[in-house]
Structure 1
Amino acid sequence: MTLPWRGWRLALALILAGAVSAAAFPPVYALPLLALGLLFLYRCAEDAASGWKAALYGFWWGWGFNTAGLYWLTNAILTRVHDFWWALPLAAPGCALILAPFSAVPAALCRRVAPGWPRVLLFAGIWSLGDMGKVYLFTGFPWNPPGSTLEFPGLVGDWLIQPAAWIGVDGMTLAVLLGCLLVWQSRRWALGVACVAVLWGGFGAWRLAHLHPLPVTLPAVALVQGNVPEGEILDRADAVAVFRRYLDLTRQGVAEARAKAGAEGRGRSVLYVWPESSFPGLLDEDEVARHMIAEAADGANGVVGSARGDARGRYYNSAFALAPDGTILGVYDKSTLVPFGEYAPRFVPVKLVPGVLTPGRGPIRWDFAGFGGVGPMVCYEVIFPGRVIGDRRPDWLLNITNDAWFGDSAGPRQHLATARMRAVEQGVPVVQDANTGVTAIFDGAGRQVAALGWGKAGVLTALLPAPLPETFFGRHGRATPVALALLCIGMAALGSFRRRL
């Protein structure tokens, strides 16, 4: 392909092509735009005068791709605009600059092999390995993997995401990249991609029809969504009113959950959940507040999100497990912190929220009476494939979060999509309780059981479905997608070598 542009015009075209490609992510799911955008980058890389030029093209494309995909980060700055006004133009573009090299590397290296399918395999394999490597960037930032573009809402999405039980979202990323590029190679390749897509979806439908849940009875849950604006959480000007709102919603939710447990759940226990940072104080130091919560819960167990301090002056973002009388049964401290938000990397002396948090020790399992075997998480941690479960597999995963930072944008929807993918990968129900939404429950196959939309104050009640047997991905983790990416790279090298004989 001969490019009609050069210089700044080509750079602008690449940035725009990357930005348009990001429309493939939730909640738009415009997958054909990703296929077109990747084709443009791929052809530009092939036509580049050198490997360095190809890398530069990949960088520009990746900058547009990640800026558009992370545009909602600007909303987080707006919550503290009087303090961080200077960061408004830097939030999404700045993060995108850090992530852009991940698309520059495959654009440059794919030229090392022969054109055609070997080059596509090498491009997709290197991209996938780089995408998996994002977990090691600062505390990790594996947001918006291309595999998440298959998480369409409804039945079609349920079919398409089932292979994640074997290959995870990273393996799905590899498949999406291959499909998006091979479809343009020739009519024969396009037909092959179409056939694989039909078989892929058919396999998902077959799997959903042949699931065998484990004989585990989990509680009925009352997920409280307070819909508190982030400004009120930070300023705590209406802390008493917010606390009373949560108490009222807890009374309502526990009563509804108890009715469902009695009518449909054969006397299941009831568990109420408050989202991340919902308690406006330090819950472990406020015995009166815990008693008030216990009174509102009327004998139910609960999980409450709250900050926590220790004797050494360190602060944690925590989830507290509470007994029916308000006694603290256990505490989980968020172990993976948000870079630039909850902590500042040492080489960047900037933080975008007041204070610096201390990380906890990592995934745990709670086995308290009435809870079921639950794996608690806080917000950001649910985005990490293969790292949401510790030494003992839980019966279900609970993620409490506060997505008020990001407003009514793609951010909360993309966050929810990651929770859905973790359910399929691990084969366990995933519950996400968000302050402003979206609060939702997924079964172990990623099917939505119930949801409460963004920007609504209310309670979501449901009987938790049973977990599925441990998945292949749950046993082997990211070793499988890594092996698949390396296989693509090896096949590309072999195919290129044979063509040169």
Structure 2
Amino acid sequence: MKTLAHRVVLAWGWRRAAIAFVAGAIGALAMPPFGFFPALILALVPAVWLVDGLGSRRDVRTIAAAAGIGWLWGFGYLLAGLWWLGAAFLVEAERFAWAMPLGVIALPAALALFYAAGFALARALWSPGAARVLALATGLAAAEWLRGHLFTGFPWNALGMAFGQSLPLMQAASLVGLYGLGLLAAAIAAAPATLATGRTPTARLAPTFVATLAFGGLLAFGVARLPAAPMPEVAGVALRIVQPNLPQDVKIDPARREEIMRTYLGLSDRTTSPERASVADVTHVIWPESAFPFLLHRDARALAQIAGLLPAGTTLVTGAARVDEGWLPGEEPVFYNSIQVVADDGTILDTYDKVHLVPFGEYLPEMFAAILDGVGLRAFVAVPGGFAAGTERRTLAVPGLPLIAPGICYEAVFPGAVTPRGERPGALLNVTNDAWFGDTPGPRQHYAQARLRAVEEGLPLVRAANTGISAMVDPYGRETGRLPLGTAGLIDAGLPQALRPTLYARFGDGVFAIMLLTCCVSALMPGLRGSRSGVG
């Protein structure tokens, strides 16, 4: 291992670039659906050695060189983890295939700038010994928090997801959230770098020993937190989650209207058990995002068909595009990606409009709109001008259910933003359409992130996906029902009760901020002590 570390430290030119890129790409194996945590060790240990190879000086030149290593590392990590975005460009290949490099290469290249900044910060904090492990963890954690918030945010595959797939390990998210998990994962995974570089046996072994204890502590906390018994359920609630598994080219085709409605109506009324002989035995039916290639609230026939399906007292909650009724002839209509609550007589009782839209997918950002429009690129959704954003995150009132915190598609990947301010909801609802991405890691990554929100907030998650993964998840992240990707079917389930607000639900990223500051100070301390003692 010493020989390998020596070679990495001394690597230069294209070899250094290749090591950084490959190490980052290996790190993607720690993300869903693989969940191979040792891959993060193989990614971050060489990263420590590469930064070591820049020497002992902390000046603009070495910080810039560290940023270059960070960009290459981040580009490899994101390219290997997000390649599946290219599948969306092939749904309407005749219109979008030419732009595939923009999603598959340009987006990871742009997002890698956050990792460049993270490595630059780490280098500014760098000092010999174990503290440099904390410097790298601090830089990466700060970079990922910024990636999740700046320019609308894109926290997909944050490093915390390395711990966000195992039931025991994900329980710490109830305390520190996704970014706190990421800080812990980075510090633990980078610690073995000292095994080959420490000057004394203690310096070599102590960081890995502490990291092992920390990992064991996370595991023990999770095991202790998980109850043996199932969660009690909300009385009088019988949910039916419908996964139609409609191909995307069918789902967006208005000419397939009748076929689509038959699919939804037929699935919703199936017999699944002696206790669920038909839709008459359920209280709520859940359909996924943008369920129809038409405007439900303007389609009296579709509403009548739904009313014919629903028995008295049963409510439908469904994704559906809608148009603002306030527009006048001659004006551009304003469309929203929404969730609508439909009563048994076809009346729409409540509506939530998606607030956090997908850039380039649901709208073209203003700063790029003119350029992209000039080369013929429009948003993927077949809506003139794309969707408009809703005005606020709000709860959804559904008869017979506690207050619901709705989230459409990738709104579920933003930690701390899935519940609105005000009265605490009793459940999370995520409706989505991952058919854009086919049978790739993308839908699996999306589900894993939505599931972690349930643990962070201490709330059950109801998830309806067009092609999967649909699930009923309790506040500990345990699945009480699940449909795999690429199957049509139903989940009949009760609604688990919510827990009391978790530490993360009460303080959000405040705990993470304290952790980050502590690591930053700890990384700086050896350098400050050296300066005071006259050691340069």
TM-score, scaled relative to structure 2: 0.87
CA-CA distance at 1:317 after TM superposition = 0.4
Match of 1:90 among 92, 98, 102: 102
CA-CA distance at 1:214 after TM superposition = 7.9
CA distance in 2, matches of 1:140, 1:428: 23
CA-CA distance at 1:369 after TM superposition = 2.1
Residues 70/256 of structure 1: CA separation in 2 closer, same or farther (3 Å cut): farther
1:405-456 Cα shifts (integer Å, max 9, x gaps): 1110110111001111100000010111100001011100111111001111
CA-CA distance at 1:158 after TM superposition = 1.1
Match of 2:478 among 434, 442, 447: 447
Q: Indicate the larger mover: 350-359 or 324-333.
A: 350-359
Q: Indicate the larger mover: 129-138 or 471-480.
A: 129-138
Query: Where in structure 2 are there 5+ consecutive unaligned residues?
Result: 1-5, 56-61, 195-203, 328-332, 373-377
Q: Partner residue of 2:330?
A: none
CA distance in 1, matches of 2:278, 2:424: 27
1:308 aligns with 2:328: no
Contact 2:289 2:466 in 1 (8 A): yes
Contact 2:231 2:474 in 1 (8 A): no
CA distance in 2, matches of 1:343, 1:227: 25
Q: Partner residue of 2:260?
A: 242
Q: Partner residue of 1:19?
A: 25
1:204-239 Cα shifts (integer Å, max 9, x gaps): 111113899688436221111111111112233322
Contact 1:222 1:257 in 2 (8 A): no
CA distance in 2, matches of 1:218, 1:379: 28
Match of 1:74 among 83, 86, 98: 86
Residues 287/63 of structure 1: CA separation in 2 closer, same or farther (3 Å cut): same
Match of 2:403 among 369, 373, 381: 373
CA distance in 1, matches of 2:132, 2:235: 50
Mapping 1:149-160, distance limit 5 Å: 149-152=162-165, 157-160=166-169
Amino acid at match of 2:42: L
Identity of aligned residues (%): 36
Contact 1:138 1:339 in 2 (8 A): no
Amino acid at match of 1:222: R
Q: Partner residue of 1:415?
A: 446
Q: Partner residue of 2:207?
A: 189
1:121 aligns with 2:121: no
1:32 aligns with 2:45: no
Contact 1:46 1:54 in 2 (8 A): no
Instruction: State the structure with more CA Rg.
Output: 2
Q: Indicate the larger mover: 71-80 or 232-241.
A: 232-241
Match of 2:526 among 482, 495, 498: 495
Query: Where in structure 1 are there 5+ consecutive unaligned residues?
Result: none
CA-CA distance at 1:32 after TM superposition = 0.9
1:269-289 Cα shifts (integer Å, max 9, x gaps): 611011001122101111221
Residues 255/301 of structure 1: CA separation in 2 closer, same or farther (3 Å cut): farther
Match of 1:329 among 338, 344, 349: 349
Mapping 1:384-403, distance limit 5 Å: 384-391=414-421, 392-403=423-434
Amino acid at match of 1:294: A
Contact 2:416 2:505 in 1 (8 A): yes
Match of 1:134 among 117, 125, 147: 147
CA-CA distance at 1:22 after TM superposition = 0.5
CA distance in 1, matches of 2:154, 2:471: 23
- Provide the aligned C-alpha RMSD in A: 2.2
CA-CA distance at 1:128 after TM superposition = 1.0
Corresponding residue SS for 1:498: helix
Corresponding residue SS for 1:224: strand
Q: Partner residue of 2:300?
A: 287
Corresponding residue SS for 2:252: helix
Contact 2:243 2:465 in 1 (8 A): yes
Amino acid at match of 1:175: L
Residues 218/12 of structure 1: CA separation in 2 closer, same or farther (3 Å cut): farther
Q: Partner residue of 1:46?
A: 52
CA-CA distance at 1:197 after TM superposition = 1.5
Corresponding residue SS for 1:432: strand
CA distance in 2, matches of 1:123, 1:165: 24
Amino acid at match of 2:319: G
CA distance in 1, matches of 2:364, 2:35: 33
TM-score, scaled relative to structure 1: 0.93
Amino acid at match of 1:301: T
Residues 22/276 of structure 1: CA separation in 2 closer, same or farther (3 Å cut): same
Contact 1:213 1:468 in 2 (8 A): no
Q: Partner residue of 2:171?
A: 162
1:48-87 Cα shifts (integer Å, max 9, x gaps): 3622111111101111111111111000111121001211
CA-CA distance at 1:294 after TM superposition = 2.1
1:251-300 Cα shifts (integer Å, max 9, x gaps): 127987756999xxxx9x61101100112210111122112112112231
Contact 1:258 1:270 in 2 (8 A): no
1:338 aligns with 2:369: no
Amino acid at match of 2:215: A
CA-CA distance at 1:308 after TM superposition = 0.5
Match of 1:252 among 264, 270, 273: 270
Q: Indicate the larger mover: 248-257 or 282-291.
A: 248-257
Contact 2:271 2:277 in 1 (8 A): no
Q: Partner residue of 1:179?
A: 188
Residues 440/339 of structure 1: CA separation in 2 closer, same or farther (3 Å cut): same
1:187-206 Cα shifts (integer Å, max 9, x gaps): 22222222221221111111
CA-CA distance at 1:136 after TM superposition = 2.6
Corresponding residue SS for 2:293: coil
